[in-house]
Structure 1
């Protein structure tokens, strides 16, 4: 099912626009249901006690990459009582912080994306839901200097330590598998912070904390190659797409434009529709928010949800969904 879904994304998504349930989604959703139903005996125990196979971890995270990441720009499912994808949390905490090779981030961070989407749905349905507000603050603290490790490296305790450790070639790019893996994982963590602030906590795109994280995210993206042996399936479009949502300055948008244009030339699959969506989104966001943002910068607390603020991410998602249907951000 994972291979079938991947094949559809690479070869056919461009010709299957605006479908409510495109073929790649039907395949990955079916795989998600298989993983959810194959209960490895933690119905009566904690997921941390489960010793799952390497194959289950790899395949489970690959399916989650498609479904969880793409849901960041789909309309919210408000009927889910509990956050799905509990099978991502199988194993001890150190296991959950280990970067999965086929996705570029650890299961704990992958599940955090799902939590943010789920809590956004809960809060959208009930703006006074106190549990969602408390969990949002806890997730915000968790994502600061989010530690991940891999078979190549034990990682770093802070984002700044990682950035300071980078050695660059004459083109200003990292040139080793270790640094590429570390930077890819860091971009996923930074993108998760922006996603949390903007969708769940309803901060504006020009909020100082959002722009601070964006600068770190784009620094990392700009230091990684977009071709050759170090450009692998770990480099999902999600990180760049989320950066594009809050990129207001011409310099930031130029970096994003260069990234997409280096990939889109002669490419089929999910890159052209995503790049087309980014360009539409810039025009839509500027027309709707530019004058408002110039009048007053959002300085609200980064640890609190402003339930009176407009859920602007949902308005944006509705317009994207109407134009393009279910896009895949892998």
Structure 2
């Protein structure tokens, strides 16, 4: 018997459907995961084994094969743990297959069977809404996933409570959409005394969505003025809040399981590399310009930045997108920000 569990792989801010296929067959005892898994996915074998042991279940002494299809798509992260565990439970006939076939499942398992929050839950919920299916995630991520709209969400704290819910022995309450606590100490423009010309320039920049370059001697208040620009920008629309939250979700920056309505303000150090600003690295993560989407990117000490890093900002400023092209990955992140230097 082959069990099928749905989950997602993240390519930029796009969630692509992944079919987790679990087979328990006769043969020498083994546990193999195939389908281009990275190190975190390969280590899920031990987390799943320990989590099942914590609820009193042992893996059968048979040959266990887990295939993450499509096999040519790289699989990264620890959010495959829960899908693999549910697939094993279905293959072992501990859970009925029809109870989980219409859900997208993601979550990291602890050794004690607890389901822990993972990045990208909001993107997975949006994919579930698109496919008209449900979502299974950690209880800590339920408030984030609820912003996707009319999606059936099962937010469980542990693997045992999830199994009881699927069997009908326990009812888990659906999560409610949560908003992260607003930052109380946002710098306010009214705190600045004097500098009337500079404050007038900030108001024009905020009203027109312009970029700004400030020149002056050290200690004249340039950094202080730049930090107060987000406080006078117009409130974000619902669409903008969703865009910003999706980038923050894939980056693991959403705290408390809720989204934020504050415009982002990013202030990278002048030693930041081109990949740190634009995005990239081994897993093509979003850079500072994408994390500042719909907000402010402040480059203090602009002449100290590397010349290639500054030249790489030209295309994103013009197009509003950051295209990260690598030999094995081609990812596009939104990057519509206001540059202040």
Q: TM-score, normalised by structure 2?
A: 0.27
Q: Which has the higher contact order (CA 8 A, sep 6+)?
A: 1
TM-score scaled by structure 1?
A: 0.28
Q: Which of the pair has more CA radius of gyration?
A: 2
